[in-house]
Structure 1
Amino acid sequence: MYIKASERTGKASSEPRGGRQIVFLDLIRFTAALLVLAFHVGFRSFPKTPEGWHTVIGRYARLGWVGVPIFFVLSGFVIAYSAGKASPSEFVKSRLLRLYPAVWICSTITLVLQIFTTGYYHGLLHAWLDALTLAPVGPIIDGSYWTLRVEMSFYLLIFLLLVFDRFRYIGPTMVTVSALSTAFLALGYAVDHALLKAGGFIPSIPDFLINSRWARLLLIDYAPHFAIGVLLWLMFFHGVTIFRSCALAFCFLGAVLSVRVEWQEVVQSSKEPSSLMLCILIWAAAVLAIVLSVRYNKAIVEWLGPERTKQARTLGLITYPLYLLHQSIGEHFVQRLNGRIPDIAIMLLAAAASMALAYGVVRYAEKPIQERLRRLLHPVRPPVSVSTLP
């Protein structure tokens, strides 16, 4: 993952240890995508049986949703790192180049695949058009796309800080947003606990608000994850302070509550039990891996060598289209092969097909569109000729 050091806030290191690429962040991103793939393909895509959701692979695949909050922590770190040196227009252009070409390609593939698989197209065209623009509301063409709306909300917050020249306050801003999120999460937890203790079955008002579309757009569900990423960036490249250390601990608590809310939603919707503690440990291990990746980047780069470092970068690049494509591809494989071959074989085939197609998007389809979009966003103006004649 290539990132640019900030020059806006305090004294920042000009380069991470080992150069501009923090290699292991790419591998963490790829692993998070595989976790989500396992959840959707190995757990959610299969029909539920009387014995439960696939006791063989579902026991492990049901934990894969934890990949989503891991993505949000990574996003907080990387976006803060890259935005610090950018102007508002540069930040917007970089996000357009990164997000839109892949989503145009992948949403079109998903549209064709869903029509081919189901023979149903009513409503899909509307969802496809919304995907092309990354509209914050409206139908989504694939279940994975909801996280892009959360990401766009975070990007909007960063953009506003840049526009008003307040990026130096990114730390306090994210802590404030995280505090509001944590208050909602804690209130929802307290009310749910009280209802459960009283034997009630009415969902709590805070929980309803937390799980609403607008709550997600306002980062109420996930602000602590983004805040942790931002605070880690600040602590690594602008120094450890008492405020940042205390804020990190506070946001960590909020993130744990966020994981708990998502865990409860998955358990209630699937009617399948899973370990909350294991979900928290997986997420915490990923955060620790991010810290170690930055801290020991130079040693990791030297250990991997140029060739494997390049391969790690490729895995990081295919993560985005892999995330966008895997669910529709997985559902197609399950629908065609369920009951004919073992479930684990279906999941492996779906994973291989998703990765191959994602690589094709990055290698052949995305770059030409990015180049055309880059020329549109950065037009080359001819030099102005100045006449010396009177």
Structure 2
Amino acid sequence: MTTLPVRPVTDVPARPQPAAPRREHRLRSLDGLRLVAALMVAVYHYAGRGGEVARAWGTSPAEQFPTLHSYAAYGCLGVQVFFVISGFVICMSGWGRSLTSFFASRASRLLPAYWAAVVLVTAVFALPVVAYEAVSPSDALLNLTMLQMPLGVDRVLGVCWTLWAEVRFYALFALCVVLPGVNRRRVILFCAGWTLAAALTRSVHEPLLDLVLMPEYAPFFIGGVGLHLLHRDRRDGYGWGIVAVSFLIGQHYAVRDLWNAADPHAFAHRTSGGIVLVVAFAFVAVGAIALGLLNGVNWRWLTTAGALTYPFYLVHEHLGWPAIQLLHRTWGLPSYATLPLTVAAMLILARLVHGWVEKPLTPRLRGVLNKAR
């Protein structure tokens, strides 16, 4: 009697394993663009607007910089550049991550330097020699939550309104894309749905919808997400469509909000064409990075530049005022020397915040949040 051969266990086909999340190499050119956007905003705050900075200079920056101030007024659009970058980066970092991991990554990235900046600005403004009024201790403590904007509390950091927009974008992306699982179809639906909902929000005049959907900033975040689709596949027609529509809507809102030709008291008159050009720069620059056209821009120092951008962005405005006052009015340095020296001083301070606060606290906070499931 013959017996049938027994099939070896090793011949059993292995079950297919899920694909590992795609690992993205660091785009150093994106780090460089971050620094460019931060410097745009800094030049705007130091030379492109009036208000508190005029107290630091002693006179209007328009008198200090008769030519530069007209160009510096466009520096506020560095925020739109940041938003396009953020859309690209958040889509890239959220791909293949759980909701817990995504939350831990974003919170650990934002909070340590932010807490340090709030404490620094509050402490410096409390000094008797500084001629700027600090917020109340209660308001300063509430600012640590990053919820001062919706609660109507005085801000310690002038730039924190942009962080509030970022947080709302993170929440929308997390709930609509990361929670159910990131894939191309879901990202496309998210971009299309948000674009349509934000457009309809303008016609219903509902403050809550304005707060959640941010119609004036949504096109920049959505455009960045579309650019990440092109980074994954430059032939993606939906990605190209998302980017094109986002640019067209985004430039409309930027011109509407920043074109001040009719205001006779405006510090500087921006042209609509100039605003559109800066918005186009935001999309084209991130697009060139997404399509790999700037892969050759891979210098190591750009990684350091990218690391310093966030703490520099947080501290430069309010701590720049006493620095300008010290250099220009107390020490008598000319304006065109004071401006770069103030920027350099804020970069040095950002390096200290990065080294002493972000480096030790960011991985620890991320670990704690990842474990708190």
Give the TM-score normalised by structure 2.
Answer: 0.80
Q: Which residue of 2 aligns with 1:41?
A: 46
Aligned match of 1:330 in 320, 323, 330?
A: 320
Instruction: Tell me how far 1:164 sits from its aligned partner.
Output: 4.5
Relative to 1, partners in 2 of residues 1:375 and 1:229: Cα closer, same or farther, differing over 3 Å?
A: closer
1:175 and 2:192 are equivalent in the alignment: yes
Aligned match of 2:365 in 362, 367, 373?
A: 373
Unaligned 5+ segments in structure 2 are: 1-18
Relative to 1, partners in 2 of residues 1:140 and 1:275: Cα closer, same or farther, differing over 3 Å?
A: same
Q: Which residue of 2 aligns with 1:345?
A: 337
For the pair shown, the structure with the greater C-alpha radius of gyration is 2
Q: Which moved more, 1:352-361 or 1:229-238?
A: 229-238
1:219 and 2:214 are equivalent in the alignment: yes
Instruction: Tell me how far 1:259 sits from its aligned partner.
Output: 1.4
Say if 1:93 and 1:377, in contact at 8 Å, map to a contact too: yes
1:159 and 2:174 are equivalent in the alignment: yes
SS of 2:235's equivalent in the other structure is: coil
Q: Which residue of 1 aligns with 2:158?
A: 143
Partners of 1:43 and 1:246 in 2: how far apart?
34
Instruction: Tell me how far 1:108 sits from its aligned partner.
Output: 0.7
The RMSD of aligned alpha carbons is 3.1
Q: Which residue of 2 aligns with 1:246?
A: 241
* Structure 1 segment 258-337 matched on structure 2, within 5 A: 258-264=253-259, 268=263, 270-296=266-292, 299-300=295-296, 304=298, 308-309=299-300, 311-337=301-327
Relative to 1, partners in 2 of residues 1:24 and 1:134: Cα closer, same or farther, differing over 3 Å?
A: same
1:240-279, CA deviations, whole angstroms, 9 ceiling, x for partnerless residues? 3443333322111111112113313698573421222122
Partners of 1:62 and 1:215 in 2: how far apart?
26
Aligned match of 2:142 in 130, 140, 148?
A: 130
Percent of aligned positions that are identical: 27
Partners of 1:181 and 1:343 in 2: how far apart?
43
Q: Which residue of 2 aligns with 1:59?
A: 70
Relative to 1, partners in 2 of residues 1:358 and 1:266: Cα closer, same or farther, differing over 3 Å?
A: farther
Partners of 1:119 and 1:327 in 2: how far apart?
12
Relative to 1, partners in 2 of residues 1:353 and 1:231: Cα closer, same or farther, differing over 3 Å?
A: same
Unaligned 5+ segments in structure 1 are: 1-10, 188-204, 381-390
Instruction: Tell me how far 1:140 sits from its aligned partner.
Output: 1.6
Give the TM-score normalised by structure 1.
Answer: 0.77
Number of residues of Structure 1 aligned to a counterpart in Structure 2: 339
Say if 1:73 and 1:287, in contact at 8 Å, map to a contact too: yes
SS of 1:367's equivalent in the other structure is: helix
Relative to 1, partners in 2 of residues 1:287 and 1:114: Cα closer, same or farther, differing over 3 Å?
A: same
